[in-house]
């Protein structure tokens, strides 16, 4: 169900991009929107993992440097039938973790120094299994594409704003643009794209929770870890880039109320409840 929901949302984002491009620039706008999305996806596909690891100062470690962590990753990767991913540690007080890599052969798991201080071995296994589930199902690629398309929609909206300021444009058929429609798209388009992107991210988190629980062998490992990580993330800030917040196992940025609509993660209570229901359901 999560995979079907993700596919529907991805198609929705793509259609939004094409529609807004067409509305703002006719056939030329549609073509430009698709080309821009293709170029942005190409760049992020090949380089996003290196960029985000460098952004957080992640250092690759060997088995001799971090034997316990490395051993957990290796054992669970074998259990998940995945190639051994690279292992990274970030010097960050906030306990958190993320996975990256464009496919399983180029996967990487990064954890903060803070996470290794507060989690038990079983809880850390739950977290690592969750990240391996993301790698196995190529969620990093899906999330990157979603973020890129949403970014392209926002960029088109900004272009429309400047076009209106400097006198608008005419499309290929010689018809003038609709300033009201353009104004609506400038406001609604980026917000709608962001909400769809967030929905995709939340759907993949639920999927990684469930698959990670199966890889680890006990849903309570991850459920207990999520409780600890959520509480700690509220107390220990992280200087995280909002564009990468969807990659972490818990949102490194804090916020409640209406901001939850734009959260990249489902509420922790719901994630924990789903994991605990796996125990009840056998």
pLDDT of residue 50: 87
Q: Are strands 59-60 and 86-90 parallel, antiparallel or unpaired?
A: antiparallel
pLDDT of residue 170: 46
pLDDT of residue 175: 45
Which residue among 131, 173, 205, 276 is the active-site one? 131
SS3 string, the chain, reads CHHHHHHHHHHHHHHHHHHHHHHHHHHHHHHHHHHHHHHHHHHHHHHHHHHHHHHCCCEECCCCCCHHHHHHHHHHHHHCCCCCCEEEEECCCCCCEEEECCCHHHCEEEEEHHHHHHCCHHHHHHHHHHHHHHHHCCHHHHHHHHHHHHHHHHHHHHHHHHHHHCCCCECCCCCECCHHHHHHHHHHHHHHHHHHHHHHHHHHHHHHHHHHHHHHCCHHHHHHHHHHHHHHHHHCCCCCCHHHHHHECCCCCCCCHHHHHHCCCCCHHHHHHHHHHHHHCC
pLDDT of residue 174: 43
The answer to whether 131 is a known catalytic residue is yes
Under 8 Å between Cβ of 222 and 127: yes
> What b/e readout covers 22-61, taking b as 16+ CB neighbours within 10 angstroms?
bbbbbeebbebbeebbeebbeebbeebbeebbeebebeeb
pLDDT of residue 29: 67
pLDDT of residue 109: 97
Per-residue pLDDT of the chain (282 residues; tens, 9 = 90+): 545 555 665 666 666 676 666 666 667 766 776 777 677 667 767 777 888 899 999 999 999 999 999 999 999 999 999 999 999 999 999 999 999 987 899 999 999 999 999 999 999 999 999 999 999 988 876 766 666 666 667 666 666 666 565 555 444 444 445 566 656 666 666 666 666 666 667 778 999 999 999 999 999 999 999 999 999 998 998 988 877 888 899 999 865 544 454 567 889 999 999 999 998 766
Start-to-end CA distance of the chain, whole Å, equals: 20
Provide the β-strand partners of residue 60.
88
For CA atoms 246, 251, 257, 259, the dihedral sign is negative
pLDDT of residue 203: 77
């Amino acid at each position: 169900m999560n995979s079907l929901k993700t596919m529907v949302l991805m198609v929705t984002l793509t259609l939004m991009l094409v529609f807004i491009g067409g509305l703002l620039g006719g056939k030329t706008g549609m073509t430009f929107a698709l080309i821009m999305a293709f170029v942005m996806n190409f760049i992020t596909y090949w380089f996003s993992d290196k960029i985000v690891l460098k952004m957080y100062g992640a250092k690759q470690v060997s088995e001799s440097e971090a034997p316990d962590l490395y051993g957990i990753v290796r054992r669970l990767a074998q259990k998940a039938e995945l190639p051994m991913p690279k292992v990274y540690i970030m010097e960050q007080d906030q306990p958190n973790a993320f996975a990256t890599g464009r496919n399983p052969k180029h996967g990487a798991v990064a954890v903060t120094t803070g996470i290794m201080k507060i989690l038990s071995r079983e809880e850390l296994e739950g977290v690592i299994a969750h990240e391996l589930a993301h790698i196995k199902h190529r969620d990093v690629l899906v999330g990157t594409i979603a973020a890129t398309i949403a970014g392209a929609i926002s960029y088109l909206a900004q272009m429309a704003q400047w076009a209106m300021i400097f006198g608008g444009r005419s499309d290929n058929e010689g018809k003038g643009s609709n300033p009201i429609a353009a104004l609506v798209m400038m406001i609604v388009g980026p917000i709608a794209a962001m909400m769809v992107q967030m929905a995709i991210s939340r759907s993949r988190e639920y999927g990684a929770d469930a698959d990670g629980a199966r890889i680890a062998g006990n849903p309570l490992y991850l459920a207990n870890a999520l409780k600890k990580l959520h509480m700690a993330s509220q107390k220990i800030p992280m200087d995280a880039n909002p564009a990468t917040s969807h990659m972490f196992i818990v949102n490194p940025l804090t916020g409640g109320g209406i901001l939850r609509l734009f959260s990249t993660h489902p509420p922790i209570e719901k994630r924990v409840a789903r994991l605990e229901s796996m125990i009840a359901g056998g």
